[in-house]
Every structure is written in C-alpha cells, then in structure tokens.
Amino acid sequence: MDRNTFTGLFLILIILVGSTFLLKPSPEEIKQKANQDSIAVLKSKGINTNKVKQNIVHHLAKDSVINIPQTETFTFLENNKLKVTLSSLGGKIASVEIKNQTSYLGKPVILFNNQDTKLGFSFTADGKNINTETLVFNKIDNAKDKATLRSQNADGTFIDYVYTLPADSFKVNFSVKLNGYDAKIQPNTNLNLNWETRLLQQEKNITNERQYSGIFYKILDGEVNNLSETKDDEKAIDDEKLNWVAYKQHYFSATLVSKKGFNKGNFEIKSIAAGDTSALKIYKASLQIPFTAQTNYAMQFVFAPNKYDVLNAQNIGLEYIIDMGWPPLKWVNKYGVMQLFKLLNTTGLSIGIIILILTVLLKLVIFPFTYKSYVSMAKMRVLKPEMDEIKKRVGEDNQALVQQEYLKLYKKVGVNPLGGCLPLLFQMPFIIAFFYFFPGLFELRHESFLWMKDLSTYDAVITFPTIPLLGWNHISLMCLLMTISTLIYTYFNNQVSGATGQMKYIGYITPIIFFGVLNSYAAGLNLYYFFANVITFTQQYFIRQFVNDDKIHAQLQENKKKPDDPNKKKSGFQKKLEDMMRQQEQLKQQKNK
C-alpha cells in the first residue's frame, strides 16, 4: 500500500466515524420517527390518524384534557330502526345505519362514514378559540338507548354530549351541556354549530340519485325551502330563525332539528366529480345558537327513509323534502294520487298491479272526454275533403282567408276544431304529476314486477360503453316498450285524426325525444306510461266500433241546412280567432297597396 492509498483510506475512516456522531438523530427526531411508525400501524387498522394527531397535539399543548386516549373509540346506540355509532373524537355521530334497508348492492344502508363527517361547536371561552371537533370525549355512561360522552378540563369544567335513541324511532335526541362555562363565555354571544358530511351512494344510478339530492331547511313557523339539487349552491339565512336543516339524498335523509330554532344559518352544497362514486355531494351547514345561562341545548337528529308517511309522522314538515311538483301538480299528487296509492297498497297487491289499477282508474275518469275527443277528430276527418276544396279554391298562399273560410265551415256544421285537444288538456296535469310522483316514491324501491327487479331504477336489457354527450350506457327495456307503444298509438291516432304534413311527423319525433329523457328514469314511471298507452289504444278501438263516419258526415250536412241563430253568442276564443284573421287580412291588403 503506497502513501496516497493509505492517506485516502484514512480520510474515509475519519468521515465514517465523524458522520456516525455528527449525523446521529436528536431525541426529538427519534420520537418523531416513533410517532410516524405508530401512525403507520394505525393507518393499517383503518383509524383516522389525522384526527388522532390533531387531538393529541391540541390537548397536550393546552394541558386541558384528562386521560387522553391514544386511539379513537366508538360507542353504539341501537333500536329496531337505527344503529348509531358515536366517536370519542369530537363526540360526533360517526355513522348511521338504517336497518331493514339495503343499497343496490345488497349491503346495509350506511348514510355517511366517520372519515367524511364533522360535527362540533366553535366558540370563544376565556379568550381562547374552542372547537369541540378537536376534543376527546370519554364515555361516562352507556346503555342500549342512551350514551353520555364527556370532554373534561383540568379545572373541572366539562362539555357533555348526551345521545338518546328512543325505541321504534328514527329520532336521536341530542343534548349538549356546557358545565362551568358561564364565567368563561361572554354573554350575548353565539355558539356556532358546524355540520359537514358526504352522503354515500345507495342507488344503482348515481347520476339520477344526485339529481334528487340537496339541502333543505325550514324557517321556524314558516315554509320549507331548499338549495339547488342540480348544481353547486350556497345560502345564508340571517333574518329568520331556522327549525331544521335536512341533508337529503334520493330515498334517505339526515336532519338536524331545534324546536327553539337556530338564530342563523349558512348552507353550502358542492358537487363531486362525475366519475367519483365515493359519495353523492358535499353538504355543509353552519348554524348559530345563542349562549344562555342555562347552557343546556336540546336538539334532535332524524335519520329516516324518504317515505311520505314516515316523514309526515315527525310533525315538523319534513315530508316537504319529497318533490311532488309545483302547485297544482303538488295538490294532485298529495291529496289525490298519494291517498289512492296508500289505499291500494294496503291490499297487499304488487306495486306493478297497483300502478296498473291507478292507470285504469285515471282512464275511466277521463273516458267521457276521450270519447268526445274521438268524435271531434272523426268530424274533422270527414270534413277534410271540404277543407281541401276550400284551400284549393282560395289558394294556399292566402292562409288568413283560408282560416276564415275554415271557421265559417266549422260554424255551419257545428264543429269545435279544439274538441280533440280537450282530453289531452285534462290529462296533462296527471301526466306531469306522475312524472314527479313515481321517481320519488319510496315504495317502488327494490320492488320487482315481471322481469324488472327494481321499479325505482332503470331495467337495462342492453349495456355498452358510455356514449359521449348522451351519457348512455344502457337501454331500458320498459322505456323501449313504452316508446314503441307510443309510436304505434301515434300511427293509429293519425289515421283517426287525419293529420297531415308537419303535424303527422311531430307525433313520431316526440316519443323518440322522451325515450332519451326517460331511459334512465324509474321503470315504474315507464310502466305507467306503457299502461296508459295500451289502455288508451284499447279505448279508441272500442269507441271506433260505435262511431260511424257516414252517420257523422250526414249529421254535419244536416247541420248546414239549419238557419243561423242570430241570438247565439260566439265564444270568446272564436271572437279572438276571427279578429286575428281579420287583422292579418287587413295587413296583407295594406302590403299589396
């Protein structure tokens, strides 16, 4: 070994020995590494390590909490309807299971999970900002229907969260007690109650489920309002007290109630990326409660299915979160269709048969109008040769004069050209009302009929990769049958009415458009439209057997021979139509000059 080699090796040895002492981790770094290893173990067990760290750091810094647990613990309340999980971190309701209900995957309905939920008060005490979300709550007592969680300070003051779950109830009573805080909190101040969560997917079609999900709230002794269900939205209520706020999804909801009312409320709802199926939307609410010397605040949670009778039984107006359309459609659904459905549902018949009976009853009610409409269309049909003759004689380029001659003909033979529209106008409120009624009807959920396993969602007969723009990845068989039946009905209806030109083809375009809209809607809704088409077609078939075109034509010709009654008053519509035709003719004459 030469001199240079020896020198190099000696320098390397000095570097290795020196680095062993100089780069040795400090006691703080060793402790931090141990904490990181512990956190890794907690993560492997599914424990929310961020909240564990926040609580430990917060309470050690303030030296305020006794017996700090190193891991999150849970307390359970349970009855025949709910299973409620309470967390020691923040004392919040960590999750809620609605019993006897399953998701589209057959799993229990869990409204929200622990990781995505925040619930706590924020206020100032002794000049310090307190956030109960970061406090650790130890279990004081726990029975099957009641639990008390306490966050105790070194000076003997404490905060109690008392949860009570009555038997056979969807309600969870929530009482908050601030013991010893009277001297710490300034009078005439507010406690801020913050509630944030992400409701989880329960239905097959998450896109459709998101369309029926939103934040609803009720003004104390006032009306129920809501944020948008189709886009991001926020709302601040500063001048009225609030009775409750509900986080609604399609068929379930979580509601926080205060009988005395919240002073103010700020609500925010945010969408989640279309491809993200981890949750429906992000719900946030910030509510203010006035601080009083009593320092005991009684509230209530309601975790329930969005079933009309269940929500109505809460006696706080919660049933209004079910969308039944705007007035008068809401009245048709609430006082008509809903009551009849409830009566039929007591018979034990399948939901599909009940939908059929509802459709038959509706068609029987409007049958007189349907008959009158058919006769009116038959009259227009037998008059068509005379109308064609008028158009040929007057000239198609003079539409105003053509229409005037048509009106004279209608008057002579005693025909109302709008008579065929009467049953459609009468049916329209029911058609639109059912469009709201069936998609929001909880009773359709997981109910099968024929090949349809769940009437509350689409029945895919064909699936394929999602089509851009349309967003389709399936074909609903019931929707397809409904569309085909509508096209068949349109064809025969055109034969009856004698429709020509654009009117003839518009009837074929409309069902195609509706197919695009209803392809992802509840199979129960498409089943109703299918039944309605079949029954209407059947009614018209039998009516046609009793309506003779030759007799109608003879009657119209007989009407021509009758002298005009000078005392007969014209209808308001007829006067307006004649005035409009006259004005058009005058304008045309002025242009020709």
Pick the closest to residue 122 from 130, 113, 134, 114 (CA basis).
Answer: 130
pLDDT of the residue at 501: 61
Helix (H) or strand (E) holding 527: helix 523-546
Per residue of the chain (593 residues), give pLDDT as tens. 445 554 555 455 555 545 554 555 554 554 455 455 555 545 554 555 555 444 443 333 333 333 444 478 999 999 999 999 999 999 999 999 999 999 999 999 999 999 989 999 999 888 889 899 999 999 988 777 899 999 998 888 899 999 999 999 999 999 999 888 888 888 888 899 999 999 999 999 898 899 999 999 999 988 999 999 888 999 999 889 999 999 999 999 999 999 889 998 999 999 988 778 889 999 999 999 988 766 788 999 999 999 999 999 999 999 999 988 888 888 888 888 899 999 999 999 999 999 999 999 988 888 888 888 778 777 877 787 888 787 778 776 777 777 777 777 777 777 776 666 666 677 778 778 888 899 899 999 999 999 999 999 999 999 888 877 777 788 999 999 999 999 988 887 777 665 666 666 777 888 888 898 899 899 999 999 999 999 988 888 888 888 777 787 787 777 777 766 555 555 555 566 566 656 666 666 666 65
Beta strand 224-226 pairing with 138-142: unpaired
H/E/C letters for each residue in 251-289? CEEEEEEEEEEECCEEEEEEECCCCCCCCCEEEEEEEEE
pLDDT of the residue at 543: 84
With a CB cutoff of 8 Å and minimum separation 6, the contacts of 84 are 76, 77, 78, 93, 95, 96, 97, 163, 165, 172, 303
pLDDT of the residue at 6: 46
User: 455 near 356, Cβ under 8 Å?
Assistant: no
Secondary structure letter of residue 70 according to DSSP: S
Helix (H, G, I), strand (E, B) or coil at 387: helix
pLDDT of the residue at 1: 47
Q: How far apart are CA 422 and CA 125, in angstroms?
A: 69
pLDDT of the residue at 480: 95
Burial zone of 110 (CB within 10 Å; 0-12 exposed, 13-18 middle, 19+ buried): middle
Within 10 angstroms of residue 274's Cβ, the number of other Cβ atoms is 10
pLDDT of the residue at 311: 95
Question: What's the predicted TM-score (pTM) here?
Answer: 0.76
DSSP-assigned states of every residue in 173-203: EEEEEEET-TTTSPTT-EEEEEEEEEPPP-S
Which tokens in the block code for residue 452? 């349809």
Helix (H, G, I), strand (E, B) or coil at 466: coil
Alpha carbon distances (Å) from 450 to 352, 353, 524? 8, 10, 12
Q: Hey, what domains does the chain have and what are their CATH numbers? A: 43-317 (2.70.98.90), 331-564 (no CATH)
pLDDT of the residue at 53: 47
Helix (H) or strand (E) holding 460: strand 460-463
Quick one: angle between helices 549-561 and 399-413, nearest 10?
A: 90
Hey, which residues does 475 pair with through a beta bridge? Answer: 462
